[in-house]
């Protein structure tokens, strides 16, 4: 089973992805994380990728295609994939379909976690990340035990550069311009599963699991 998990920033994709990967044991491709680790490496494209991410822009489709290919190609395709934050534009969606076709596979489901723009801004503004281990917190829904300190490794909690208000607005605009057209395509292809993301984590998870094998 090959699944795409999509949703506006702060929709809880990452949380659901982790739970689904644990349950179904598929390969997990989290594009935001892959790109952030490239930005922090000595890769020749690190500088440009970091700048793009910090501004809340999207990394170029062609570069994302190469990265995705590299990741998919190395994995056991029979285990299936869960794609998180990828594809994020219609060209990326078509690239992914082409890639999977080469392995005799297809996209089986696109799960769309829907939350309003206001909710997205509210959640992202409250998001904090551990500088040391990357653990994610939310000051409203999932605060650390000690303010400003990671529960797991005691690292310092910081706000991501692209979680600043201006970058958030820009990312949301890109989501509606570039990512939403994928939803229409998936609807036409009869693989779209839309989920109300403004509910407790467990409820969302249960709905996904109960509907995943049906349309
Ligand atoms: P995320 O952690 O999913 O919010 O992604 C963080 C940032 O990585 C995004 O704001 C983009 O700059 C970049 N990024 C992640 N996934 C993609 C993608 N599929 N295409 C282009 N840029 C991406």
Q: Find the 58 Cα to ligand 1 centroid distance in Å.
A: 6
| pLDDT at residue 215 in the model | 60
In the chain, count H helices and then E strands: 9, 8
> Hey, what are 191's tokens?
């693989």
| pLDDT at residue 142 in the model | 87
Which ligand 1 atom is nearest residue 87's CA? Answer: 19
| Per-residue tens of pLDDT for the chain, all 215 residues | 999 999 998 898 988 999 999 999 999 999 999 999 999 999 999 999 999 998 889 999 999 999 999 999 999 999 999 999 999 999 999 999 999 999 999 999 999 999 998 899 988 899 999 999 989 899 988 899 999 999 999 999 999 888 888 888 888 999 999 999 999 999 999 999 999 999 999 999 999 999 998 76
> Domains plus CATH for the chain?
3-116+165-211 (3.40.50.300)
Listing from the earlier edge strand, what are the strands of the sheet with 127-130? 136-138, 127-130, 157-158
Minimal-distance CA residue to ligand 1 atom 2 = 32
As a whole number of angstroms, the distance between CA 8 and CA 62 comes to: 22
User: The pTM is what?
Assistant: 0.88
Q: Find the 126 Cα to ligand 1 centroid distance in Å.
A: 19
| pLDDT at residue 75 in the model | 94
CA R_g for the chain: 17
Q: Which residues contact 93 (CB under 8 A, 6 or more apart)?
A: 87, 182, 185, 186
Coil vs helix vs strand at 111: strand
Q: Find the 59 Cα to ligand 1 centroid distance in Å.
A: 7
Query: Is 169 marked as binding a ligand?
Result: no
Best residue among 32, 65, 88 to mutate for probing ligand 1's pocket (most ligand atoms within 8 Å of CB) is 32
| pLDDT at residue 160 in the model | 87
| Cβ atoms of residues 89 and 182 within 8 Å | yes
Which ligand 1 atom is nearest residue 92's CA? Answer: 19
Residue with tokens 């190469």: 66
Q: Where are the beta strands (DSSP E) in the chain?
A: 2-6, 27-30, 81-84, 109-114, 127-130, 136-138, 157-158, 192-196
Which ligand 1 atom is nearest residue 68's CA? Answer: 19
């Amino acid at each position: 089973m090959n699944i795409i998990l999509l949703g506006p920033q702060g929709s809880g994709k990452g949380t659901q992805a982790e739970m689904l990967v644990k349950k179904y044991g598929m390969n997990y491709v989290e594009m935001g994380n892959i790109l952030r680790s490239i930005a922090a490496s000595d890769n020749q494209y690190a500088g440009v990728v970091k700048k793009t991410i910090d501004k809340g822009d999207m990394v170029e489709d062609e570069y994302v295609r190469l990265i995705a290919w590299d990741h998919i190609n190395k994995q056991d395709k029979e285990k299936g994939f869960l794609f998180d934050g990828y594809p994020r534009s219609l060209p990326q969606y078509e690239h992914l379909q082409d890639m999977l076709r080469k392995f005799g596979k297809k996209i089986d489901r696109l799960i769309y976690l829907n939350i309003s723009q206001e909710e997205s801004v509210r959640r992202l503004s409250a998001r904090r990340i551990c500088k040391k281990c990357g653990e994610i917190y939310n000051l409203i829904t999932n605060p650390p035990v000690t303010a400003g300190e990671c529960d797991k490794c005691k690292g310092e909690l910081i706000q991501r550069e692209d979680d600043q208000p201006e970058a958030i607005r820009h990312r949301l605009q890109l989501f509606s311009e570039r990512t939403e057209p994928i939803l229409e395509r998936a609807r036409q292809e009869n693989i779209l599963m839309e989920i109300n993301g403004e509910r407790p984590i467990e409820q969302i998870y249960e709905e996904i699991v109960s509907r995943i094998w049906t349309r």
